[in-house]
Structure 1
Amino acid sequence: MIRYVLFLFGLFVVSCSSDNNVEQVFDINKFPQEWVLVTSEITNSMPKSDTLNEQESIVLLSSGRFTKTKETESGYISSEGDFEFVQSDDQITIQLNHDAQNELIINCSDSLIELFALVSDSSLSGGAVPCDGPSVFYQRIK
């Protein structure tokens, strides 16, 4: 009898537990979208960091505008501009067109354009890896 009660109790506990590891599904056409930097690494010189000292985010608005913000020890840095989704054969890329040159732009040139590959509906990757610069990975939270 005690085994039966323990079995039912165990079944109850298992059936009532929630799975917090389930990835949230996002619609690419819903705005605003908020993406936060989760990892960054510099090719051949620095290991991947899962605990970033600086908070960085990108917010995409339905108007086609974006704001990229970075919180540092000395304050906030931000950049604004227009964005667009670029569809190729098998890849969707988010292209950020910054209004002005600033230190938040990560690419292999002095251009005002920053590109991010949409890895999944909740994950972006970008950076300046082809020129041995940093790679960055963002996760969508909104």
Structure 2
Amino acid sequence: MKVSTFFFGLLLFLSSCNKDSDKSIYQDYQGLWVLVKMSGNTPDSETTGQEMGWQESYKFNSDGTFSKSREQNGTVTESAGTYSAVKSEEGKRLELTFASTSDIIGSCLGDQKEVLLLQSSTVMTSTWNQCDGPGLEYEKTMKID
């Protein structure tokens, strides 16, 4: 009985540690990230503020879910899914998987995935420009509890 109680307690302890570490990973990215700059493939094609082709934001939640919103020509389009944080030689990145197809997914492969590179704790860029999409830069604006 003591052995099974010990193993149950150890299992409970280990599972709570994993949840805490996952939660702290997501807390690093949690919050609202707003598009602040767009650039094209031609020199001097950078735009900011209301001059950009659309306004856009991501809301990252501490449970590994996100939502994306884009306002273009008076129409708001929203989509959502899950994300994971990945560390690589290039640095930290967020890999997003959308729950359904949407016109606002900025992907080189035309699938339901996006990759965002973390330049710092408050600046993030899209990888869409690697396949002739626009260069997109986002800034973290507030923490969401």
TM-score, scaled to structure 1: 0.73
CA distance in 1, matches of 2:68, 2:137: 14
CA RMSD of aligned residues (A): 2.1
| Structure 1 or 2: more helix by fraction | 2
Q: Could you tell me which residue of structure 2 aligns to residue 33 of structure 1?
A: 31
CA distance in 2, matches of 1:32, 1:130: 25
**CA displacement at 1:63 relative to structure 2:** 1.5
Unpaired runs of at least 5, structure 2: 1-24
What percent of counterpart residues are identical? 23
* Maintained 8 Å contact 1:28/1:121: no
**CA displacement at 1:71 relative to structure 2:** 1.6
**CA displacement at 1:119 relative to structure 2:** 0.1
1:112 paired to 2:112: yes
CA distance in 1, matches of 2:32, 2:100: 21
* Maintained 8 Å contact 1:44/1:132: no
CA distance in 2, matches of 1:32, 1:108: 25
CA distance in 2, matches of 1:106, 1:75: 18
Secondary structure of residue in 1 paired with 2:130:
helix
Relative distance call for 1:46 and 1:112 in structure 2 (3 A) is farther
Relative distance call for 1:45 and 1:133 in structure 2 (3 A) is farther
Unpaired runs of at least 5, structure 1: 1-26
TM-score, scaled to structure 2: 0.71
* Maintained 8 Å contact 1:85/1:95: yes
Q: Deviations over 1:98-139 (max 9, x none)?
A: 111111111211111100110000000114222222110000
* Maintained 8 Å contact 1:124/1:137: yes
Which 10-residue stretch deviates more, 83-92 or 46-55? 46-55
**CA displacement at 1:90 relative to structure 2:** 5.0
CA distance in 2, matches of 1:45, 1:128: 17
Q: Could you tell me which residue of structure 2 aligns to residue 133 of structure 1?
A: 133
Give the number of the structure whose alpha-carbon radius of gyration is greater.
1
Relative distance call for 1:30 and 1:132 in structure 2 (3 A) is closer
